[in-house]
């Protein structure tokens, strides 16, 4: 096993050499009995100490710079936060206007459609009335002709009644893109899912109507529960608490 190629610009030379020696030893470790196991543990402890030393040296070098970086970020973040909130406020007003104009156009369109349907219904009713009236008159003429032994008159044709509908002007829908001298604001679809009934979703998964990925377990919560219950076992069906031991050196 070899060390990754690194620069020695910041790493102390003795620490670099020690790290290389410990890394090289890893390939030569052979554990066949208790004594050799103790030797492997000893090497692992030395490696951990080397890691801690390197981490300490790294922090000594970066912490002064980190403090300055934090100050710089804080200065810029204060301004960008204010500008972000101002931008949200400005766009909120634009979007509010667009929503109002869209709603207005929709309402006027629905009102115009209702007016058209009502006009067409009146026209149909008037046409039906005229047809019935013409039919009654025709039947009377037919009876008169029969009494006289004459040919019946031709059946009258009722002309269609046009709907007395004049469309009103409808407000225009706001454009998807709003341009200015400095740029253009446009919108895009941004679909999101909201779980409104967890039990219904879980049942759909059980019934095979939805994939299991829809209800992935909350691993953070379950791990917290495992640490709380420990050897007492899991109170949740389908969940097992396992002690996945982590090796540590003391």
Burial of 158 from C-beta contacts in 10 A (0-12 / 13-18 / 19+): middle
Q: Look at residue 209 in the predicted model and tell me its pLDDT.
A: 93
Structure tokens at 97: 């206007």
Q: Which residues fall within 8 angstroms of residue 39, CB to CB, at 6 or more apart? A: 29, 31
Return the exposure string of 187-199: e unless at least 16 CB atoms fall within 10 Å of the residue's CB, then b.
Answer: eeeeeeeeeeeee
The pLDDT, as a whole number, for residue 117 is 92
Q: Identify the pLDDT of residue 177.
A: 77
User: Which pLDDT tens digits describe the chain residue by residue (250 residues)?
Assistant: 555 555 567 888 888 888 989 998 888 899 999 999 999 999 999 999 999 999 999 999 899 899 899 999 999 999 999 999 998 898 889 889 888 988 998 998 898 899 989 999 999 999 999 999 988 998 888 888 888 888 888 888 888 888 887 887 877 888 877 777 778 767 677 888 999 999 999 999 999 999 999 999 999 999 999 999 998 889 999 999 999 888 776 5
Question: What is d(CA 47, CA 32) in angstroms, rounded to the nearest whole number?
Answer: 21
Say what the pLDDT of residue 183 is: 80
Supply the pLDDT for residue 211. 94
pLDDT, position 180: 78
**What pLDDT sits at residue 245?**
84
The full set of domain ranges for the chain reads 13-174, 198-232
């Amino acid at each position: 096993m070899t060390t990754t190629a690194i620069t020695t610009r910041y790493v102390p030379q003795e620490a670099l050499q020690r790290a290389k020696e410990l890394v090289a030893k890893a390939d030569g470790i052979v554990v066949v009995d208790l004594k050799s196991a103790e030797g492997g543990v000893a090497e692992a402890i030395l490696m951990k100490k080397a890691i801690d030393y390197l981490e300490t040296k790294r922090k000594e070098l970066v912490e002064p710079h980190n403090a300055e970086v934090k100050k710089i970020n804080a200065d810029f973040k204060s301004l960008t936060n204010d500008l972000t909130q101002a931008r949200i406020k400005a766009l909120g007003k634009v979007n509010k206007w667009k929503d109002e104009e869209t709603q207005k156009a929709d309402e006027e369109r629905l009102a115009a459609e209702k007016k058209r349907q009502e006009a067409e219904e009146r026209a149909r009713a008037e046409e039906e009335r005229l047809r019935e009236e013409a039919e009654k008159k025709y039947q009377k003429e037919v009876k008169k002709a029969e009494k006289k032994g004459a040919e019946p008159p031709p059946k009258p044709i009722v002309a269609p009644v046009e709907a007395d509908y004049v469309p009103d002007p409808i407000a225009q829908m706001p454009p998807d893109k709003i341009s200015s001298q400095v740029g253009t604001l446009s919108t895009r679809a941004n679909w999101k899912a909201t779980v409104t009934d967890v039990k219904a979703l879980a049942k759909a998964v059980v019934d095979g109507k939805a994939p299991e990925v829809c209800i992935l377990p909350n691993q953070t919560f379950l791990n917290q529960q495992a640490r709380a219950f420990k050897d007492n076992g899991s109170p949740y069906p389908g969940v097992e608490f396992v002690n996945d031991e982590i090796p540590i050196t003391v």
